[in-house]
Amino acid sequence: MNEKDLASLAIDTALQMGATYADARVIRLQREVLEVRNGNVNGIKQHLEMGLGVRVLVNGAWGFAANPDLKAKKVEIAVQRAVSLAKDSAHLYHKPVVLAKRKPIITTWKSPCEQDPFGVSLEQKLDHLFEIDALLRGVKGIAFSEASMDFWKEWQIFVNSEGSVIEQEIIQSGAGLTATAVSDSDVQTRSFPSPFGGQFKSAGYELIPSLKLQDSAQTMAEEAVQLLSAKNCPNGEKTIILGGSQLALQVHESCGHPVEFDRVLGHEADFAGTSFLTPDKLGNFQYGSDIVNVVADATVPGALGTFGYDDEGTPAQCSDIIRNGKFVGYLMGRETAESAGMESNGTMRAQGWNHTPIVRMTNINLLPGDHELDEMIGTTEDGILIKDNRSWSIDDKRLNFQFGAEIGWEIKKGKIVGIVKNPTYTGTTPQFWRSCDAIANQNHYDVWGTPNCGKGQPMQVARVAHGVSYARFNQVNVGVGYAE
């Protein structure tokens, strides 16, 4: 039996056993991770996996089972288990699950890819990484150099009991570098294009040369060395300008997570937390200043959070989250949307075949404004330009946050006067976004892949992204991480 037949068998079996709804996903995943460190291969790992996950609704309750063994008999056993689990759950249900209506879809979808990364030789990839690694180590004072690539190809077929059959293939690539300088009392790292593995996109190998890692290697290494002797980020209230992946993570933690409707409904209360964005705030809460516009857009070509259809078969779409500063939309799936009389905006995704879909971010993008970065710096009296995340922390309702970054540039009277190390800043989500008075234009805009978003029990990791340029915030408490 092929994968579609196995998924269809799962659905038929579930319906025969009393399910009122069922969906099944068969997934094949191929992954390759390469890392060069200090002139040595630190790791080359190639991973293959496959499996089937089946989700059923029986007596108004969910059951889920997953099995890597793609034989008809094993699929039937998985379905029996899922149905049995749903029946156990149903005993304790006081309100049956109802799914928002969807028309069946039969289609295929592929992410854009010019050059399949799994068709590129390991020699070519390693040669490039060794070239970058050598450039980093060429800078005096660098203790550790690292360059890495990460490739991902996921093929999935989704079949549900409503007649949908959706085949998708998503190819994703990522690469980055880090340079670390060490003294007896300090460790400083610079990364490019972004920390934690670099930039990730839904793209083929063509992404790698486009990142031009070699052009930034020396600068990153020199900055890491300079940071050892740089002054610490000052304490107190300052204007800050956030850019690149640091602003992307700010959006992720303080906009993306609080608008997940399953958090709002309490589904994540025991682990990831809930949200300050209670339903009464929808449409009438001033989230940010009126220049703040945030969308959830799973249709952005080439972004890490882009797909054709979510793991419930809902088409990818773009929906408003914050419009002119007002909170106007949640991320929802078919169950959570129906519970509030709304429609799914296609955000249900699972980590692979062995987890059940939950509400996830797609590409949560802060839309560009109309400023040039130079102008934003030029009109800042006393501030810090902060880039490249080092640390993040936020409370369970997504209100109080603190971030640390790799580097800051101190701004005095409209001019950058030098770098500072260990920049940290803290704030409260709505107050912070209401203080946003400038957002850079499209020329500075990029969509930053975040391949490590954790949520759910058992824990699932999602690959999402955030489109940002630069944004300026006022009266922000900086330097707090080193409070005495």
Partner 1 sequence: MLNKQMAHDILEEAIRYSPADETEVILNGGKTFSTRFTNNYISQNGAQKEYDLTVRVAFGQQVGVASCNIFDGDHLKQVVDNACLAAKHSKPDQQWTPVLAPQAYQEQSQAYAQQTIDYTPQEKAARLAPILQSSLDQNLTSAGMLVNGDNMLAVMNSKELFAYQAWTRASFTYTAMADQQGSAWTEFHSHDMRELEIEALSKIAMERAFLAQNPGEIEPGTYTVVLAPTAVLELVEFLNYLGFGGMAYEENRSYLSGKMGKTIFDPRVNLVDDPFCSQVLGPGFDYEGHPKQAISLIENGTIKQAAYDRRTAQQAGKASTGHALMPPATSGPFPTNVVLQAGETPIEEMIASTERGIYITRLWYSNVVDPKQAIITGMTRDGTFLIEDGKLGRPLRNMRYNQSLLQAFANLESLGDQIYGFQGYFGKLAVPALKIRDFCFTGISKE
The reply on whether position 480 binds partner 1 by CB under 8 A is yes
- Rounded to 10 degrees, what is the CA torsion of 275, 280, 282, 283? -150
C-alpha span between 218 and 247 (Å, rounded): 24
Single residue of 115, 286, 299, 428 touching partner 1 by CB under 8 A: 428
Q: Which two tokens stand for residue 326?
A: 């007002």
Residues numbered 229 to 248 that lie near partner 1 (CB under 8 A) are none
**Ranges assigned E (strand) in 103-183:** 106-110, 144-160, 165-183
Residue 14, helix vs strand vs coil: helix
Q: Which two tokens stand for residue 373?
A: 């970065």
- Residue whose token pair is 């031009």: 212
The reply on whether position 15 binds partner 1 by CB under 8 A is no
Residue closer to partner 1 (CB basis): 68 or 301: 68
The reply on whether position 313 binds partner 1 by CB under 8 A is no
Which residue, 276, 245, 295, 296, is CA-closest to 430?
A: 276
Single residue of 104, 138, 266, 378 touching partner 1 by CB under 8 A: 266
C-alpha span between 136 and 124 (Å, rounded): 19
Q: Which two tokens stand for residue 383?
A: 């501030």
Q: Which stretch binds partner 1 (CB under 8 A): 158-166, 264-272, 286-294, 341-349?
A: 264-272
Tell the smallest beta-carbon distance from residue 56 to partner 1 (Å).
10
List all residues 6 or more positions away from 448 whose beta carbon is below 8 Å from its beta carbon.
194, 199, 244, 245, 248, 465, 466, 467, 468
Residue closer to partner 1 (CB basis): 62 or 330: 62
Which residue, 259, 229, 166, 188, is CA-closest to 406?
A: 188
Residues numbered 349 to 378 that lie near partner 1 (CB under 8 A) are 354-356
Q: Which stretch binds partner 1 (CB under 8 A): 80-88, 99-107, 306-314, 441-449?
A: 80-88
Q: Please count the residues of this chain forming the interface with partner 1, following the rule CB under 8 A.
A: 86
Residue 457, helix vs strand vs coil: coil
The reply on whether position 280 binds partner 1 by CB under 8 A is no
Residue closer to partner 1 (CB basis): 48 or 413: 48
Single residue of 2, 229, 393, 475 touching partner 1 by CB under 8 A: 393
Q: Which stretch binds partner 1 (CB under 8 A): 39-47, 193-201, 215-223, 407-415?
A: 39-47
The reply on whether position 284 binds partner 1 by CB under 8 A is no
Single residue of 269, 290, 381, 461 touching partner 1 by CB under 8 A: 269
The reply on whether position 484 binds partner 1 by CB under 8 A is yes
Q: Which stretch binds partner 1 (CB under 8 A): 16-24, 75-83, 152-160, 239-247?
A: 75-83
Which residue, 94, 157, 122, is CA-closest to 36?
A: 122
The reply on whether position 226 binds partner 1 by CB under 8 A is no
The reply on whether position 461 binds partner 1 by CB under 8 A is no
Task: Tell me if 449 sits within 8 A of 465, measured CB to CB.
Answer: yes
Single residue of 64, 327, 330, 433 touching partner 1 by CB under 8 A: 64
Tell the smallest beta-carbon distance from residue 269 to partner 1 (Å).
4
Q: Which stretch binds partner 1 (CB under 8 A): 58-66, 159-167, 192-200, 201-209?
A: 58-66
Q: Which two tokens stand for residue 375?
A: 């102008």
CB atoms within 10 A of CB 228: 15
Q: Which two tokens stand for residue 252?
A: 């992720």
Tell the smallest beta-carbon distance from residue 413 to partner 1 (Å).
29
The reply on whether position 392 binds partner 1 by CB under 8 A is yes
Task: Tell me if 433 sits within 8 A of 401, measured CB to CB.
Answer: no
Residue closer to partner 1 (CB basis): 47 or 415: 47
Task: Tell me if 378 sits within 8 A of 390, measured CB to CB.
Answer: no
Q: Please classify residue 482 by burial: count the beta carbons closer than 10 Å to its beta carbon, then call 0-12 exposed, 13-18 middle and 19+ buried.
A: exposed
Which residue, 368, 361, 360, is CA-closest to 296?
A: 361
Single residue of 10, 61, 159, 203 touching partner 1 by CB under 8 A: 61
What DSSP designation does 115 have? S
The reply on whether position 340 binds partner 1 by CB under 8 A is no
CA 462, 464, 220, 405 torsion-angle sign? negative
Residue closer to partner 1 (CB basis): 145 or 469: 145
Q: Which stretch binds partner 1 (CB under 8 A): 207-215, 219-227, 386-394, 436-444?
A: 386-394
Binding mask 116-135 for partner 1 (x = CB under 8 A): -----xxx--x---x-----
C-alpha span between 408 and 384 (Å, rounded): 6
Binding mask 407-426 for partner 1 (x = CB under 8 A): ---------------x-x-x
The one-letter amino acid at 42 = N
Helix (H) or strand (E) holding 53: strand 40-58
Task: Tell me if 176 sits within 8 A of 200, measured CB to CB.
Answer: no
Binding mask 179-198 for partner 1 (x = CB under 8 A): -x-x-xxxx-----------
Residue closer to partner 1 (CB basis): 115 or 428: 428
Print burial letters for 240-270: b (CB count within 10 Å at least 16), e (below 16): bbbbbbbbbbbbbbbbbbbbbbbbbbebbee
Beta bridge partners of 22: 56
Q: Which stretch binds partner 1 (CB under 8 A): 81-89, 163-171, 319-327, 440-448?
A: 81-89
The reply on whether position 137 binds partner 1 by CB under 8 A is no
Residues numbered 316 to 335 that lie near partner 1 (CB under 8 A) are none
The reply on whether position 150 binds partner 1 by CB under 8 A is no
